[in-house]
Amino acid sequence: MMKKVLVTGISGYVGLHTAAELLKKGYSVRGSVRNLSKTAQLTKAIQNEVEPNGNLEFCELNLLNNDGWKEAMQGCDYVLHIASPYVTTEPKDENELIKPAIEGTQRALRFAKKAGVKRVVLTSSLVAMFEDANKSINITEDTWTNTNAKNMTAYVKSKTLAEKSAWDFIKEQKGENRLELVVINPGGIWGPTLSNKIAGESMNIVKDMITGKMPMLAKAAMNMSDVRDVALIHVKALENEKANGRRFVVASEKPYSFKEMAKILKSNGNKKVSTLEGPNSLLKFMSRFNSDLKAMKPFIGNTYHADVSQTMEVFDWKPISFEKSILDTAACVKQLMNNN
């Protein structure tokens, strides 16, 4: 019998790719959206990759209230909790991000457990593993970001606290039939979108680079992820026995900087791309006035190196090359710019 997976946040960059991957692998998908009016265009986006053949349905959920969660879980074997509040600019009140991130995660786990779901796969982030985001470090599945460090941003805090709250929930379970948890921690995510619009931070960065609107780059490097890899490992994590109770970095084997990214774009015919790195002190000063830079402030001048060997071994997987990710992102951005 076909297994059913609830995918929260199906309309997002990662959500759409993950839904398509699930359908390709023979799962039935129920996707949550904040508003059911979008479902026709979401179905169309997924059809560009795979024909759902009646195995795709939608439900309406909100991270901040209980309405519909019980019904959404009914008949589901697994849950992929991908939905999370995301803003590129730093909000005036950090709780705009932190509250829905934690409450949404707790709801997904609580209702999954009540419904007898076997396993939840949670989308976290490499930024939850940075120890002190202000320093260059080596990251493993045991490292956690210190949310009290200086320059801590609301987004980093929200991802870290939401993931910690998930592990606390799993630890505090009592009785039989315990819910299983696997956490996926991607780095910066690149790659083509399945939707027909330029959405998300990474696509906008590439757009600004290739149109010459980014004259100066931040000095920062981390392991980078391809959205297709992130989707694939979410699906592989559903039934892999060795994955239960663990966190997995899904990213390139080495860190890449924005300068390396700019060089890839420039050497492949994107003449307007600047490869100039801004001085750390200037960028940190500018972050006081620029909300995009403010969110980047802890990372400026640092290199974060994450170990992906465990992920490669457990899932028998090799990351898509960073060059391919970036060039595919640029090709997708150009196509969407021409279409709109």
Catalytic residue among 24, 25, 92, 159: 159
User: Cα separation of 72 and 112, whole Å?
Assistant: 9
**Residue 107 and residue 109: Cα distance in Å, rounded?**
5
The first and second tokens of residue 238, run together, are 């559903």
DSSP run (H or E) holding 57: strand 56-60
Q: Long-range contacts of range 61-69, CB-CB < 8 Å, 24 or more positions apart?
A: 61/8, 61/32, 61/33, 61/34, 62/34, 63/100, 63/101, 63/103, 63/104, 63/107, 64/99, 64/100, 64/103, 64/104, 66/107, 66/111, 69/107, 69/108, 69/111
Alpha-carbon distance of 327 to 190, in angstroms, equals: 10
Query: Can you tell me which residue has the tokens 């966190």?
Result: 247
Residue with tokens 């990351």: 319
Tokens in use for 173? 């379970």
Per the annotation, the verdict on 174 as an active-site residue is: no
Residue 281 near residue 219 (C-beta atoms within 8 A) = no
Q: How far apart are CA 136 and CA 299, in angstroms?
A: 9
Q: Packing angle between helix 322-339 and helix 201-210, nearest 10 degrees?
A: 80
Instruction: Say how many C-beta atoms besides its own lie within 10 A of residue 244's C-beta.
Output: 13
What is the sign, positive or negative, of the torsion defined by CA atoms of 231, 165, 158, 79? positive
Active site residues: 159
